[in-house]
Amino acid sequence: MLAVGVDVGGTKIAAGLVDERGSVLGCVRVSTPDSPAATVDAIAAAVRELGAGEVPVGVGVAGFVATDRSTVALAPNLGWRGEPFGERLAGGLGTRVWVENDANAAAWAETRFGAAAGRDAVVCVTVGTGVGGGIVMDRQVWRGAFGMAGEIGHLQVVEAGRECRCGQRGCLEQYASGSALVAAAREMIAAGGPDSAGLRTACGDRAEALTGPVVTQLAASGDPAAVRLIGEVGRWLGVGLAGLAAVLDPECFVIGGGVLDAGELLLGPARSSFAARLPAGDHRPHAPVLAAVLGNEAGLVGAADLARLALLGESG
Ligand SMILES: [Zn+2]
């Protein structure tokens, strides 16, 4: 049976009709409105436009989702707190709705249909503006007792380190994300060394105009400073992966998100630092660190599949 998957981002909403093999049959994209109520209306309109009828709807949201799979406890980028989001959307649409953390949904999609297809124990890390994560154990999304597991971006890697939006300090997201990459590039420009010439040219001497994709493209073209900056993000990512392997011992890691456009410039240093940091690393298999393959669609494909399996009682 078909299902609808929705990915609610800070600026855009994507809704897609997805079949049981994870193929997207049609997609509608709209801007994300300011308020949760308007967002519910925008999603309902997008789902109707897909013309899917009364099929299950899965929604991936960047935030902490409560165990009822409806309430968004906190979505900092959207400004939502304690929103009974799924219930409202179900009321508006007259169909059943499953709300999932967006990184959990992406992890599920990569495990069912993507880079980790056929594997049972998978940890996915999304390295974008922030760092998201999803854990699949025994072919189930591991959500934790309170629904909020897998917040890999908030793994503390530096005691009393950089401040994080979650209220803590030293979280992985502050070192291994697109935002951290841009901050480090701006620091390099401010320091004014000769190695920052490529970065300065790329942003027209306006450090504030620098973005993650600009640094990534510069690295891909071989600029040594940009390569070093991406490598540093990769190195921190490897530190996080080693900690995760110590606790979860997954079969593989899947790395996705915008910074993955840097490819091996990110993954190479991540693998080296993972190998160097892995506890008892000389005496155990090393889980491969793989590139995600589903790209931007992973979130909506995973949300649709989870909704179909959970709400129709089909097995994965
Ligand atoms: Zn944090």
- What is the residue-wise DSSP string for the chain? --EEEEEE-SSEEEEEEE-TTS-EEEEEEEEPPSSHHHHHHHHHHHHHHHT--S--EEEEESSEE-TTSS-EEEETTTTEEEE-HHHHHHHHHTS-EEEEEHHHHHHHHHHHHSTTTT-SSEEEEEESSSEEEEEEETTEE---TTS----GGG-B-STT-SB-TTS-BSBGGGTSSHHHHHHHHHHHHHHT-GGGHHHHHHTTT-GGG--HHHHHHHHHTT-HHHHHHHHHHHHHHHHHHHHHHHHH--SEEEEESGGGGGTHHHHHHHHHHHHHHSTTGGGSPPPPEEE-SSGGGHHHHHHHHHHHHHHH----
For ligand 1, the distance from its centroid to the CA atom of residue 154, given in whole angstroms, is 4
For residue 24, how far is its CA from the centre of ligand 1 (angstroms)? Answer: 33
The token pair that represents 263 in the structure block: 């490819």
User: What is the Å distance from ligand 1's center to 273 Cα?
Assistant: 21
What separation in Å is there between the alpha carbon of 244 and the centre of ligand 1?
Answer: 16
**Closest to 278 (Cα-Cα) out of 248, 316, 310, 315:** 248
Contacts of 278 (CB under 8 A, 6+ apart): 242, 245, 246, 284, 286
Residue 158 sits at the vertex; the CA angle it makes with 153 and 159, to the nearest 5 degrees, is 120
For residue 211, how far is its CA from the centre of ligand 1 (angstroms)?
21
Q: Tell me the CA–centroid distance for residue 170 and ligand 1, in Å.
A: 7
- φ and ψ at residue 19, rounded to 5 degrees: -90, 180
Residue 136 C-alpha to ligand 1 middle, in angstroms?
A: 22
Q: Give me ligand 1 centre to Cα 93, in Å.
A: 35
The two three-digit tokens of residue 301, written as one number: 């494909």
In angstroms, what is the span from residue 268 Cα to ligand 1's centroid?
A: 25
CA of 141 to the centre of ligand 1 (A): 21
CA 198–ligand 1 middle distance (angstroms): 31
pLDDT at 62: 87
Q: How far is CA 272 from CA 10, 163, 238, 292, in A?
A: 33, 27, 7, 19
- Report the distance separating Cα 263 and Cα 256, nearest Å: 10
Quote the CA–CA distance of 119 and 110 in Å, as a whole number.
Answer: 10
Whole-number Å distance, alpha carbon 155 to ligand 1 midpoint, is 7
Report how far ligand 1's centroid is from the alpha carbon of 174 (Å).
8
Give distance in angstroms: CA of 51 to centre of ligand 1: 40
**Spatial separation of the C-alpha atoms in residues 299 and 104, rounded to whole Å:** 8
**Rounded distance from Cα 169 to ligand 1 centre (Å):** 6
Q: How many angstroms does the Cα of residue 125 sit away from the middle of ligand 1? A: 15
Cα 158 to ligand 1 centroid, rounded to whole Å: 11
**132 Cα: distance to centroid of ligand 1 (angstroms):** 11
**pLDDT per residue rounded down to tens, the chain (316 residues):** 899 999 998 889 999 999 999 999 999 999 999 998 999 999 999 999 999 888 999 999 988 898 888 999 888 778 889 999 999 999 989 999 999 999 999 999 999 999 999 999 999 999 998 899 999 999 999 999 988 899 999 999 999 999 998 889 999 999 999 999 999 999 999 998 888 999 999 999 899 999 999 999 999 999 999 999 999 999 999 999 999 999 999 999 999 999 999 999 999 999 999 999 999 999 999 999 999 999 999 999 999 999 999 887 765 5
CA of 46 from ligand 1 middle (Å) equals: 33
30 φ, ψ (degrees, to nearest 5): -135, 165
Q: What is the pLDDT of residue 228?
A: 97
Q: How far is the CA of 292 from the centre of ligand 1 (A)?
A: 24
Q: What is the Å distance from ligand 1's center to 248 Cα?
A: 20
What is the distance in A from the centroid of ligand 1 to the CA of 195? 31
Q: Which two tokens stand for residue 240?
A: 């996080």
